[in-house]
Amino acid sequence: MIIFSFIIVLVVGIFTGIIVAHDIAENRRLDVTSVTLKSEDYLTVPFGAEIKVSDFIEHLNGSMIDDFKIYTDTLGTQDITFEYINIKNRRREKHFTITVADVTPPQIYGKTAYTVSLGYDGDLTNLMLSGDDLDDHPMREIIGEYDTNKVGNYPLEYRITDASGNSTSHLFTLSVVAPRPNTGSPTAPSQPAGQTPIAKIIQEHKTPQTKIGIDVSSWQGNIDWNAVKASGVEFAILRIGYGYDNQCIMDQTFQANLAGATAAKLPIGVYFYSYADSTDEAEAQAHWIHEQIKDYSLELGIAFDWEDWTDFNQYGVSFRTLNQIAQKFLDTAKDHGHHATLYGSKYYLDQFWQPQAPVWLAQYYDHPTYTGEYWLWQMSDNGQVNGITGPVDINIMYLDQAAK
């Protein structure tokens, strides 16, 4: 009887073991076949791509628990783990690895011909603006033979290569010319461009949804603000100063302009001309500005103005880093409770800036052609306004955009 019971137990155990083994094998089979990933070609993605887990799944026999976003703002590999429910309603994990790569080549903004004087010893790579979207220090080089100590025309290639091996070339001709002899004849003075009266601008652009204003700096000298307001000006943006090499310098007319515009009861904002080459410097500049204006009510806020594009190559920043510099300034200004604005011309807004703040557009044209959003339009730099000697910048404010 005991032997018989033992045999039964043994048989049951074997049978149970077979069932368990079968279940384990079946579960493994389900785990293998429930999720199929796309091929290796899909596991390399561009920096900044908007992707989520399901973008890498070829087939799923079950359901996703969380189809989460994958961040691609860091180059290199990422190990991804996600969970799903298989057809037996069991929770399972799956792993895969992606590579975030820089696949965007650097940019060169240049002409096809440049002229330098005999004996020129400057860096030819600075003749053109060039840069990379991610690499702060791409390699710039001039390919070809030339001699700046010998008059002639030299066909050359400008090449820029980023750390990921992406490269861009631009062909151009370098002309080396002898300097013109000094004949002693006086140069004819240039004729100033005609100014546009503020009354004409008001007539053409003033509506119930716009205000007409100016922006000024020490270039305008002493200003009669009562006369300015009487001429029809409805707001003013004052240069508070400029900053470079970790120092901030106040515009020498700012205090007088602030007092005068305030007394004239004009809505006021300030702009700051920045040469910042790091987010730390931009943050410090925004803090400095707040300290200067914290006791005043400046309803038009603070504008960040970075436009040293001629020297961009020498800053050692990528286009992404430059946008981070601007954003750090703007975010710091907002943290202090100020309205924050990015100033830029249409060309550079189209090419480089990625505005995450209201835009002050500079475009000297009869109407704006910038397709992005903006709340201020600097339409002219040759306005004529009573109370100001010489030309002044004229701006249109769009009230429906200003409220955003």
Work out the number of other CB atoms within 10 angstroms of the CB of residue 259. Answer: 11
Which residues face 384 on adjacent strands?
Answer: 197
First to last CA, the chain: 90
Which residues face 114 on adjacent strands?
Answer: 174
Nearest-angstrom CA–CA distance, 43 and 57: 10
Task: Determine contact, residues 256/222, Cβ cutoff 8 Å.
Answer: yes
pLDDT value at position 10?
46
pLDDT value at position 193?
62
Q: What are the tens digits of pLDDT across the range 118-138?
A: 999 999 999 999 999 999 999
Q: What are the tens digits of pLDDT across the range 1-37?
A: 555 554 554 444 544 444 444 444 444 444 455 788 8
Q: How many CA atoms lie within 13 A of 311 on its CB side?
A: 8
Instruction: Report residue 334 as tokens.
Output: 């907002």
Q: List per-block mean pLDDT (blocks of 10 residues) for the chain, which spans 404 residues.
A: 51 46 43 76 90 92 91 93 90 92 96 97 97 97 97 98 97 95 59 81 96 97 97 98 95 97 97 97 98 94 97 96 98 97 97 94 95 97 96 96 66
Q: Which residues have C-beta within 8 Å of that of residue 103, sequence separation ≥ 6?
A: 46, 47, 164, 166
Per-position DSSP letters for 48-80, written without gaps between them: T--EEGGGGEEEESEEES---EE---S-EEEEE
**Residue 202 carries which side chain, given as an amino acid letter?**
I
Work out the number of other CB atoms within 10 angstroms of the CB of residue 52. Answer: 14
Q: What are the tens digits of pLDDT across the range 298-352?
A: 999 999 999 999 999 999 999 999 999 999 999 999 999 999 999 999 999 999 9
Task: Determine contact, residues 17/72, Cβ cutoff 8 Å.
Answer: no
Domains in the chain, please, with CATH?
36-101 (2.60.40), 107-177 (2.60.40.10), 196-402 (3.20.20.80)
Task: Determine contact, residues 128/117, Cβ cutoff 8 Å.
Answer: no
pTM of the model: 0.85
pLDDT value at position 17?
47
pLDDT value at position 18?
45
Nearest to 364, CA basis, from 339, 394, 343, 335:
394
Contacts made by residues 298-301, CB under 8 angstroms, sequence distance 24+: 298/268, 298/269, 298/270, 298/338, 299/267, 299/268, 299/269, 299/339, 300/235, 300/237, 300/267, 300/268, 300/269, 300/339, 301/269, 301/270, 301/333, 301/338, 301/339, 301/340, 301/341
pLDDT value at position 194?
83
